[in-house]
Amino acid sequence: MNFESLVNHISAIQNTLQAQAAHSVNLALTSRNWLMGCYIVEFEQNGEDRAAYGEQLLKKLEKQLNTKGLNERRFREFRRLYLAYPQLKDEVLHYVMSGSEIRHTPSAEFIAPIRHTPSSELQLIDKQNNELTLSPEKVFNKLPYSHLKSISQLDNPTKRAFYEFEAIRGCWSFRELERQINSLYYERSGLSKNKEILSALVQQQATQLQPADVINTPLTLEFLGLNERALVTENDLEQAILDNLQKFLLEMGHGFCFEARQKRILIDEDYFFADLVFYHRILKCHIIVELKIDKFHHEYASQLNMYLNYFKAEVMQADDNPPIGILLCTEKGDTLVRYATAGLDPNIFVQKYKVQLPSEEEIKDFISRGI
């Protein structure tokens, strides 16, 4: 075995076992969420004391459990997952009952709430409704929970099956799946005269799923109980600023108090991350700093404006002033900035930064020439 073979073998082991780990975590996450949805639906339909909880069931459940990642919104997701995919019953139960931790759970007690689940024998076609479906085994084993969560929001079963099939065939990432749903790929396919060419083009341009995409998601990390800092990948610019935080604060001006890095923001069902958040003790307001490693683009201003609106509605206290947004880019065109920020929050400021400052000799020479 030569050195190149050694590198190839180690690389193959890393990739293979990382993929297996991601797959195992995903199956556990899907199983947990499906089962919770099942229990919630069963209680809502047959619970002896369900009337006492009524519409406040999920809120009271969140309060009683008091577990990070298990809240009212999540419970609604789980319930929707179960209602959209009742056919996953056998796959979920087989996975859970084969686990070492739950192997000794009394099976009758454990399965009892699931006995009313509709039949899971659907394979390719539900002849009664003439609706296409994929086999439960493929759906359970091939699609991460993030994908199932997104697809379960679609009301049309045939539409769900379409995106299931395309996502599995193309090994789509979650962002790719979301992009295709938002671009109305299903509807475009129905209108297209040559569906095969459209499908081939979409798959050719699609971003594929990687093991890290499954592991490094807010849902997975909440499930595993990992630190929120693991939710994002640190970029060099942000790390450099934080490594020199004192100098950075002096450069920004007096009164800045560092509050958060990669501040996680949940809007609807999507996560966003504000790069740096400060509170200014003199201005009495939050200051959100977004760092971009390229020149200014108009969508950057829109993103920062969204963060400001979120802070106004969800974070700002009664005695606070409205938040301020600072966008740092490598280059900016004044005209584009003016057009892009017109009509947005007036507290958005776009500034240009330099990756590397001039040397001391260059500064001395500049001063000498100025004198």
The low-confidence residues of the chain, meaning pLDDT below 70, are: 99-132, 190-253, 293-294, 330, 350-371
**In angstroms, rounded to a whole number, what is the distance separating the alpha carbons of residues 60 and 32?**
19
Number of alpha helices (DSSP H) and beta strands (DSSP E) in the chain: 19, 7
Q: Which two tokens stand for residue 347?
A: 């507290």
pLDDT digits (tens, 9 = 90+) for 275-308: 889 888 888 889 898 887 667 888 888 989 999 9
Interatomic CA distance for residues 255 and 249, integer angstroms: 8
Structure tokens given for 343? 């009509």
pLDDT, position 105: 44
Instruction: Work out the angle at residue 135's Cα, subtended by the Cα atoms of residues 132 and 141, and round it to the nearest 5 degrees.
Output: 130
Q: Looking at the chain, which residues constitute the CATH 3.40.1350.10 domain(s)?
A: 232-360
Identity of residue 52: A
Place of tokens 């139960």: 93
Helix (H, G, I), strand (E, B) or coil at 324: strand
Burial of 164 (0-12, 13-18, 19+ CB in 10 A): buried
Tell me what pLDDT residue 102 has: 46
Using the CB atoms, write b or e for 219-229: b if 16+ within 10 Å: bbbbbeeeeee
Query: Residues 171, 208: contact at Cβ < 8 Å?
Result: yes
Q: 232-360 architecture in CATH?
A: 3-Layer(aba) Sandwich (3.40)
Taking only Cα atoms into account, the Rg of the chain, rounded to an integer number of angstroms, comes to 26
pLDDT value, residue 352:
58
- What CA–CA distance (Å, rounded) separates 189 from 302? 31
Which residues share a beta bridge with 265?
Answer: 272
Q: Is the pTM of this model over 0.75?
A: no
pLDDT, position 126: 46
